[in-house]
Amino acid sequence: MTIFTAAPFRILVLALLLTGCAGQQTRELIASPAIAASTLEIAGRHRIFVATTRAEAENKQEVFSGGRSPDLHFAHVDMTVPAIHKTGEIERRKKNQRADPAKFFVAADVAGYQDEEAFSRALRADIASHEGRALVFIHGYNTSFDGAVYRMTQIAHDAKYSGTPVLFTWASGGKTVDYVYDNNSATAARDQLERTLRLVATSGAKRVDIIAHSMGNWVTMEALRQLAITNDRDLGGKLGDVVLASPDIDVDVFKTQMRRYGKPDKPFILFLSGDDRALRVSGLIAGNRPRLGGYEDAADIASYGVVAVDLTKVDAGDRLNHAKFADNPTLVTLLGERLRQDSSLGAQDRDVTDRIGRLTGGIGQTLTSAADIVITTPFEVLNVVVGGN
């Protein structure tokens, strides 16, 4: 009898664990009417460029749904961040709450582009005004369109990123029961992510950084693999940092992707955590196979040209411990600092090791409790003790 109930039980566990992330927030990105706010009540304004494989939503206030589109849609969203914002958090309104820019992240304007050429022109102008820098963020499983926009805004704001933020949002159903659907949607989006990365690189960018989270790492690695197959794995020399945060990828699959991609000229940065509850559940669903974001053999992964940063003992902003790179206020701030300061596209393994070592040193100056961050590179393993009483 246990045999027949095990799989449904695991799905139920997944739902119970992950439903807490959603809460009672509305999916309506556009609110009408919005409350006016003074300049002093606004901490920041960010134009988020969007490329998406989502279908347009029937409810126009949601803008895009969790359904798939055969076409790549383009838009931008002008977001405001309230002055009361706390680093690492996303202040978002719930159902029946008015869009108050003094209290919540609010979309001040949303506009679509007729085609890729129009999007590229707007992107080029914005990138030119930001010193040729662009950051592409790819979200993970169980993420609605508004949630993806909010997370991109939070990362850009808290990291104080000086370039142009570009959100690639694939057709996640935004429901806990849609794990298989989401995985298939991510796979179906890999060609369009490849197209988007090339588009950003040819729209005036001198450097393109990538941050992928959770299942977003799957579509990211597939797109990078496809770039390598076409002999353009570094986007014509413009590829900057590739940050793989809590990757929901089978370890063996990741290894095959890296073998095809080849050892990166500049090591990828992997943020993993042994206490990631979301990845434990996805591992159960995948036949009790380890996920990259919770893999214990960091040296094994480092040999593929990856700097593995183990954040197991660093505090998270949620009970799943699945988004420490963005939820932990110190981590997201210092990650942004390193992205801003590192202008070299030819950094070697030791350069990146030193850079992350300085990042964790900065963490030690702000944390109030002791924690260990273990950094594993192809050259060495560093145990960095940060914080202390």
Q: Which residues have CB under 8 Å from 160's CB, separation 6+?
A: 333, 336, 337, 340
Q: What is the pTM of this model?
A: 0.88
d(CA 96, CA 302): 48
Task: Please give the structure tokens belonging to residue 248.
Answer: 């929901």
Position 169: which residue type?
Answer: T
Which candidate, 173, 211, 177, places its Cα nearest to that of 281? 177
What does the block give as tokens for 73?
Answer: 């849609």
* Measured torsion, CA atoms of residues 334, 47, 244, 284, in degrees rounded to the nearest 10: 120
Which contiguous run of DSSP H or E holds residue 208? strand 207-213
Separation of alpha carbons 194 and 157, rounded Å: 26
For 152-197, write each residue's pLDDT tens digit. 999 999 999 989 999 999 999 988 888 999 999 999 999 999 999 9
User: What tens digit of pLDDT does each residue of 291-346 get?
Assistant: 999 898 888 999 999 989 888 888 777 778 888 888 877 678 777 776 776 555 44
Nearest of 290, 304, 305, 223 to residue 250 by alpha carbon? 290
Q: Residue 376 is part of which domain span?
A: 2-386
Cross-strand pairs, 375: 309, 382
Number of domains in the chain: 1
Interval 47-59 mean pLDDT:
97
Could you give the CA distance from residue 58 to residue 302 in angstroms, rounded to a whole number?
45
